[in-house]
Amino acid sequence: MIEDVDLRDPRADEILVRLVATGICHTDLTVKARAGGVGAAVLGHEGAGVVEEVGPAVRGVRPGDHVVLTFASCGSCDLCRAGAPSYCELFGPLNSGGVLGSGDDTLHGAGGRIGGSFFGQSSFATHALTRSSNTVVVPRTLDLAMAAPLGCGVQTGAGAVLNVLRPDEDSSLLILGLGGVGLSALMIARAIGVETVVAVDPVASRREVARRLGASLVLPPADDLVAVVRERTGGGVTHALDTTANTQVITQAFDALARRGQLVLVGLGMGELRIDGSQLMSGGRTVRGCIEGDAVPHDLIGELASMHESGALPLEAIVRHYPFELINTAVDDMRDGSAIKPVLLFG
């Protein structure tokens, strides 16, 4: 539903951003599905736009700057200071508190308070209130309509590869799930020279995109996936990334790992995992969760933006644009797999 609501003025440490584009991420759909009892809210957390106004305490961001928005973090807890803002002690309240009704009040409509400040932005709107911790200034040459998903989905997949898995040219990487996150991981792996990338997804059109982006082996999910992967990679993969949050798929990914292999999990909402403890031990294997690609967004988003501008991160392979008014069509296309990364454009 699209309607006019009031956004309060920026406080001393806040930034008012006019959105140019915003991606849709699966977390928006997950929260929408769960938020039935919470009441009206504005979601959206892959915004990109132009700064209109900054509070007097804001440093490093000026009116007119082009910015990519990302997740919010406090900047002062032990984890933020250790360079791990995606594990910020206040991650929950700062990113979903406003939508759950406990956080900041930024939006009001005819019926009263509306949940806002989602990921410190609520970017399914023409304007957003942000802070410098989740506002990354980017070059004016960067196409904001392509860059919007850098703030969450692309950062999540790319960061999981660059910051956590860290494969090299001789590694083999298995990617489960070829949505925006999985295909971003694939693009980055190819960009850093990983030769062997096995990509798995039930949707044929997504497998075709993976093939075009340089996956060496593309497969639909299957009961014998582990055997096929083991055979084609000479005994198992050195690295694996699960984006599906499907516990059966995760078990397969674990079973496909070579000795000392590492599996990273980035899918939201997975249940209890079943993995063989002695396989974990005896092979020196690792299973690890990862939020937002372990990114320090002010570093990683800049790096990804320049890779995109140089042609090494072809986001146009996954992005499909829609006018903002067609947000529901974009969501439907994302759900049925026909759009990989919908990005909404403000007219």
x-or-dash string of contact with Zn ion, 135-154, rule CB under 5 A: -----------------x--
> Could you say which of 15, 25, 61, 315 contacts Zn ion (CB under 5 A)?
25
Task: Name which of 266, 299, 265, 297 is nearest 70 in CA terms.
Answer: 297
**Segment contacting Zn ion by CB under 5 A, of 22-30, 50-58, 226-234, 317-325:** 22-30
**Segment contacting Zn ion by CB under 5 A, of 66-74, 202-210, 314-322, 338-346:** 66-74
Closest CB to Zn ion among 74 and 326? 74
Site residues (CB under 5 A) for Zn ion, limited to 301-320: none
Residue 80 binds to Zn ion (criterion: CB under 5 A): yes
By the 10 Å C-beta count (0-12 exposed, 13-18 middle, 19+ buried), 86 is classed as: buried
CB of 333 to Zn ion, least distance (A): 17
Residue 77 binds to Zn ion (criterion: CB under 5 A): yes
CB of 1 to Zn ion, least distance (A): 21
Residue 340 binds to Zn ion (criterion: CB under 5 A): no
**Segment contacting Zn ion by CB under 5 A, of 36-44, 86-94, 236-244, 278-286:** 86-94
Q: Round to whole Å and give the CA distance between 99 and 104.
A: 9
Closest CB to Zn ion among 96 and 233? 96
Residue 95 binds to Zn ion (criterion: CB under 5 A): no
Residue 74 binds to Zn ion (criterion: CB under 5 A): yes
Task: Name which of 176, 221, 174 is nearest 202 in CA terms.
Answer: 221
Structure tokens at 101: 């009704």
**Segment contacting Zn ion by CB under 5 A, of 67-75, 103-111, 208-216, 339-347:** 67-75
Closest CB to Zn ion among 225 and 245? 245
CB atoms within 10 A of CB 125: 22
Residue pair 257/237 in contact by the 8 Å Cβ criterion: yes
- Give me the residues that bind Zn ion (CB under 5 A), please: 25, 27, 73-74, 77, 80, 88, 152
